[in-house]
Structure 1
């Protein structure tokens, strides 16, 4: 019987991205690596549980869910989540950041100081700058100040991020311009919490870390994994939870690794580069009228 694996997701470190498997095994993902896996015929996607606990009922979850959790486990997972604003007494220092994903796509967020830039890599931020550092609730109030005063959102949908990733400005100064302008407007606001220390604008660019400079343009994205489906391709870039795979056809296809969780996966055996999972093409606005 073929050996099966369960994926826990994509993790970022100073060495780059790696797929993590149940049991703690990691598969490093250098550019050019061949990525290949299949979902067995008759396979079923089950809930991954929450906070180290297995799902008590082994619930079946939809193929298009990026969380891979049933309603009860999703509720448990968010019960003690900083992101869900359910913790008010975390004593750790936090940083407020501005993240840029493409033209017109900037968000404000917070992350624990001890995590460094990991949160920005996980979100697929093309570039970012710190805005301030302080206690959790001060960071929260600053985040809300920017949302109210400057209409900066705290979320950008992944579908929008990946659709523009292949058409980013070519140079770092061009990519940083929007962040620098917004940072200046943010620090000029009145009403900052006294306990939050402002930080200078120092834009960090992740185009190199993500491998986007030399990667072929992505033409579409996998929407779900299905029993009997498989993918074989060469890793050409990665950003956030996404793998950009040259898998035959035109351009690269983007695979959100969160769609892999909850499935039992196996090696598909030899074969040509291809993506045999349902996918949709990115739609782009025409450049102009002729």
Structure 2
């Protein structure tokens, strides 16, 4: 019987995207790389735990959950996140950023300065710029200021981000325009926290890092993993947690968060395909790991 691997998620390293595996191994993902796996026959999806700790009851979780956590582990993970506003005494400096995902889709967010641009890559930001740096609560107040004064959201659904990746503006200056305009408006607002140091507008374009240039429109996206089913393709692009795979039927999008919690094995002939739904597009808005 083939060895089963458990995916810990897609990470963005200095050299590009990598799939992580329980035990610490990583598989570098390069354009054109073959990605082929099957879900263990008879397997179930179990909770991945929280904050580096295994789920004490190894709870079974839904195949469609992107969090791959049971209710209790999800609560624990959320309680210790920056987004939960429970880390007011965190002494680290934080950065406020503006991230662009497509026409009309700009969000504001914060990330620890020591993380660099990792958070932007994880979210699938096509273009971004820093807005300022300071203590956590000052960064949080700035984020709230932009939401209230400029109606800039702090979240954009992944489905909306995916829908525009194959129809983005062709040039980096075009992709940076909305971020530049919003950056100027943000700096002109009254009420900025004195402890937050503004940053100049310096847009960073992730189209090359994600491989989005000339990306063909997707025809489908994986809805969930199911025991005994498989997926085979070659990597066309990657953005945030998503892999865009060229398959026999066209480009298919796989949210790698759906892989977590399953036992995965090499794909073999004759297995049914993972369930897909038609892709929603928008016109303007030794075995090294498993593979």
TM norm structure 2: 0.94
Indicate the residue corresponding to 1:15 in structure 2: 15
Indicate the residue corresponding to 1:264 in structure 2: 263
Aligned residue-pair number: 284
CA contact (8 A) 2:95 2:134 kept: yes
How far apart in 2 are the matches of 1:275 and 1:134?
52
Q: CA deviation at 1:16?
A: 0.1
Kindly indicate whether residue 254 of structure 2 is the aligned counterpart of residue 255 of structure 1: yes
CA contact (8 A) 1:248 1:275 kept: no
Q: Secondary structure at the match of 1:83?
A: helix
Kindly indicate whether residue 60 of structure 2 is the aligned counterpart of residue 63 of structure 1: no
1:15-63 CA distances to partner (integer Å, 9 max, x unpaired)? 0000000000000001110001001221100000111211111110000
How far apart in 2 are the matches of 1:152 and 1:36?
39
How far apart in 1 are the matches of 2:272 and 2:112?
37
1:198-219 CA distances to partner (integer Å, 9 max, x unpaired)? 0111000000000011332222
Q: CA deviation at 1:14?
A: 1.2
Q: CA deviation at 1:286?
A: 8.1
Q: CA deviation at 1:284?
A: 4.1
How far apart in 2 are the matches of 1:163 and 1:42?
33
1:58-98 CA distances to partner (integer Å, 9 max, x unpaired)? 11000000000000001111121112222101000000000
Report the aligned-residue RMSD: 1.5
Q: CA deviation at 1:270?
A: 5.3
How far apart in 1 are the matches of 2:48 and 2:219?
30
CA contact (8 A) 1:232 1:275 kept: no
| Unmatched segments (≥5 aa) in structure 1 | none
1:218-260 CA distances to partner (integer Å, 9 max, x unpaired)? 222111111111001000100000001001113x111000000
| Unmatched segments (≥5 aa) in structure 2 | 285-291
Kindly indicate whether residue 130 of structure 2 is the aligned counterpart of residue 123 of structure 1: no
TM norm structure 1: 0.95
How far apart in 1 are the matches of 2:136 and 2:280?
39
